[in-house]
Structure 1
Amino acid sequence: MATTETPTEKLERRKAESARDASPKKPQDHKTKKASPDTEGFVPVEYEGATIRVQADLDPATDFELLDAIGKLEEGAASGLGNLVRMVTAPGDFPVLMNACRNARGKVDPETLAGFIPVALEAGGLGNS
């Protein structure tokens, strides 16, 4: 035998459903969608006020040079930073990134440039996404 709701129970159930529908979206509902790669296989990212295109399909499992460059950087070899940046950015965007990372003295700040790497890797399919 089916249980029937009293009018009071029905009203309370509807209020609860209405409150759930009106509640704010959960954070995962607000994630921005990743940009689709352009015809050359790059996706745009914003960094230090500049739009830089990075490779959309970064995969160290199939690219030894990328794996090696990331490994050297993780070992503390800062001299490999420029090479890694060149590998992940679109050919014409390297100078744009360099200009975006310049400090007040007009020099490219290595820490600012290094901050680009996680942004680029995530946009390229690696990282926490």
Structure 2
Amino acid sequence: MKAVRKMVNSFAELKVCAKTVEQLKQMGIKRPMPVQEQAIPALFAGRDVIARAQTGTGKTLAFLVPMVERLDASKPFVQALVITPTRELAQQIAVELKKLLGESEVKVLAVTGGRDFEAQKHKLDGKSHVLIGTPG
């Protein structure tokens, strides 16, 4: 017999803080997608998660929401590193993270090829809290 999983109706039910829930609402996101329902509690619990799902199913926010909850803008060092396979995905994730952060003082930097290396290197001088990039 297969266990019936209760549907979650809000990010608040997943123990996401009110500030992040409000930011999600401003982004037009009111309720979690299935991948988020499963990943967010596991990530809050400190477990590793591998999620595989089609494009548009909410994977990016599934890991960004718990990450945002742990970032501290008062600490002047990198607190999170996101590695992606492509420059385009790194840039897309950076855009979504900045939306999710809203007015937060947390600084996000996408470090990718195809852009001026010295300019990116200069931005790494202790000012970013989150780095998003590609290998190589």
Same fold (TM over 0.5): no
Larger fraction in helix: 1
Q: Report the TM-score, using the length of structure 2 for normalisation.
A: 0.23
Structure showing greater radius of gyration is: 1
